[in-house]
A and B are shown apart, each in its own frame.
Chain A
């Protein structure tokens, strides 16, 4: 499933990110890599959502969230 399909107040683990190179690099620099635990704070809206990973909250756009694959279980 993608991050955009996730539920609010639920934690997931990143399994794959496939985005434009510069976006991907920016996310990676923020510590969002494969295996990172990500908590969805608010995914009520159609578009952007708020998440928390590595101790910091972020607002991220729909496009980013639709291209991050997550699973409920850690695969590592």
Chain B
């Protein structure tokens, strides 16, 4: 028998499962303070006293019914042989809500260990928990832990190791009276004992199930699922019930569970003070009818203000460094008599391409720090509430706005976050418009072109692109809801977590992961794209060419010139950059550097060279704006397209989405160029 133990982390949304998982495995999975951050199960390993444990982090769920996708997926995983021990992560500051799932998990019949997380918040609020009484009442070990401070971790694993085989519960001591008519006293056997009526029915069902499915286990749970009219279980275990047997006791079952929870909370929680005033005070402003929306818009404006101002200021230093490095390399290479071809590859291809992209790192870091603050403070869930009325007008739920905000960072996780949406239609619509929320990879394009062509107004030009993207997302959803005639369901349902001061570690992990992605992208996709482009530019049908207009890249770009001419982008270099940008949006910038062989395009000197070159081919500020609009709207990068395809599981819908985005991009830049070039 393998000694590896499979431990599943199960709990309500936003109770700290992933933080605990990270603490054990050393993984850096994203955590934040809004329900639904984890959408996929994640696996990791930890060792405790020379034994290996396989840990499985599951999406947060409120119950084990099968009414939402996450719930039925999680339930299947928990029930499968894939999990030996359940670690039920419980937010100790919110026992009343969390224990409902705990009772359901205990009924499953697998070994359960409760990890009481967020004990610090319990203390902070002046509450006290009776840690002796709680396990007595529910019959499973309860271990206080602090996932953020990494306390109680080995005690919890110890409990897991000791309870891995225990399918029966520990000593149960309940004070409520025994049964009146039901023949068995279950109070020493089960944590959750129902009323006589239901217990009688469980007995009948258990008897029937045992007859037909003798090899099954945990008949009590199956019987309960029958009484809850659980379709999945009923189909899996068909049963002919005795005549006159009335099922459909789901309401009573739920209510009796909550009654028992009230009993537990009464006995276990002391000083149940409602000292949660801080969150209510903040919400008084942030969710208010008149201030809610302006505050949200202000917050977003601030996010981008920091991104552009502080980011640009820091970027200046990066540029100086890059320029020095580039000059040094040229001098060095000349000194050792490197062939001009190799020098060109190194300086124009690699330093120009990859290096140029690295100078945008400060902007990206600041954007992600700001987004991390938003996500970790607890504000995100409020955004869903604040935006619900507007989103309903667009035929969507307020919840659909969360993926859209994430889209400002990166389209890939944003598309994945749409899983939390209730209906398939909402998902498709949200996935269609999310790429219009300008992602961080498009930022270098705006920063470069707006500072080249719009000088002092650069920041407003960049802002305008974000606003345009949002406007198009709105118009698109509105038109779609008119076409397919769906009305908003007004069925928003989202937990509003307590506000907390953002955790430095959480934010560091969040930002570091993004920086790592960015650097990896610069080192792989952008690096390869720059070299490929350099080759395509320096070689033609006849081999090495000295005139770039004879190169392979030029021949490819020139084919498409007529298509792009009306949009002001009818220059083969621009077209090649846009095609290359499909790999990653930053590649548009690195390609421009390579295409116009300006190795320091992002520096002041490089920019003026580039402006001169661009003006030479008749590319002015209106063209630049049309280009930025095109980059904002056209097909997202390959990684995003792959994610969209994976999430929708439909090639047809994915192709439709891409076509739509391409069409919108072409049409909008066409409008801007045609109108703009007549005015200016």
Contacts and interface: CB of A to CB of B under 8 A. Distances in A.
Interface of A: 21-23, 25-31, 33-36, 41-42, 44-48, 50, 54-64
A12 to B, nearest CB: 17
A58 B67 contact: no
A64 B490 CA distance: 7
A34 B255 contact: yes
A28 B255 CA distance: 8
Contact of A33 (B62, B251, B392, B492): B251
Contacts of A46: 389
A57 B495 contact: yes
A59 B283 contact: no
A39 to B, nearest CB: 10
Nearest to A25: B67
Contacts of B385: 48, 50, 59
B97 A62 contact: no
Interface string B525-555: 0000000000000000000000000000000
Given A29-B65, A42-B287, A47-B389, A23 B494 contact: no
A63 B491 contact: yes
Contacts of B289: 42, 44-45
Contacts of A56: 94, 96-97, 495-496
B132 to A, nearest CB: 22
Contacts of B600: none
Interface in B374-400: 381-382, 384-385, 388-389, 392, 397-398
Q: Would you list the 3 A-B pairs with minimal beta carbon distance, nearest first?
A: A29-B63, A63-B490, A61-B492
Nearest to B262: A54
Contact of A47 (B381, B382, B490): B490
B11 to A, nearest CB: 14
Contacts of A60: 492-493
Contacts of A28: 250-251, 254
Contact of B280 (A21, A41, A62): A41
B194 to A, nearest CB: 15
A50 B280 CA distance: 11
A33 B382 CA distance: 24
Most B Cβ at <10 Å: residue of A30, A36, A59, A64: A59
Nearest to B104: A29
B96 A54 contact: yes
Most B Cβ at <10 Å: residue of A29, A34, A44: A29
A59 B94 contact: no
Contacts, number: 117
Given A47-B389, A62-B490, 12 more contacts: A23-B491, A25-B65, A25-B250, A28-B250, A28-B251, A29-B62, A33-B251, A45-B289, A47-B388, A48-B385, A48-B388, A61-B392
Q: Which secondary structure dominates where chain A touches chain B?
A: mixed
Interface of B: 62-63, 65, 67-68, 94-97, 100, 250-251, 254-255, 258, 261, 279-280, 283-284, 287-289, 381-382, 384-385, 388-389, 392, 397-398, 489-497
A33 B255 contact: yes
Contact of B388 (A26, A42, A59): A59
Q: Which secondary structure dominates where chain B touches chain A?
A: helix
Contact of A55 (B94, B250, B384, B492): B94
B398 A48 contact: yes
Given A42-B288, A61-B491, A64-B491, A55 B63 contact: no
A28 B576 CA distance: 56
Contacts of B398: 48, 59, 61
B255 A48 contact: no
Contacts of B280: 41
Contacts of B255: 33-35
A64 B388 CA distance: 13
B96 A31 contact: yes
B494 A58 contact: yes
Given A29-B65, A44-B288, A56-B97, A50 B250 contact: no
B203 to A, nearest CB: 24
Contact of B392 (A29, A31, A44, A47): A47
Given A34-B255, A42-B287, A27 B97 contact: no
Nearest to A29: B63
B49 to A, nearest CB: 37
Contact of B100 (A25, A29, A48, A50): A29
Most A Cβ at <10 Å: residue of B96, B284, B287, B497: B287
Contact of B492 (A21, A25, A48, A57): A48
A35 B258 CA distance: 11
Contact of A61 (B95, B100, B490): B490
10 contacts: A27-B493, A29-B63, A31-B258, A33-B258, A55-B94, A55-B95, A56-B96, A59-B381, A60-B492, A61-B492
A56 B62 CA distance: 12
Contacts of B392: 47, 61-62
A70 B506 CA distance: 41
Contact of A42 (B62, B100, B251, B283): B283
B493 A29 contact: no
Contacts of B97: 30-31, 54-56
B389 A45 contact: yes
B496 A59 contact: yes
Nearest to A45: B289
Contact of A41 (B67, B95, B96, B283): B283
Contacts of B388: 47-48, 59, 61
Contacts of B95: 55
Contacts of B492: 48, 59-61, 64
A23 B250 CA distance: 14
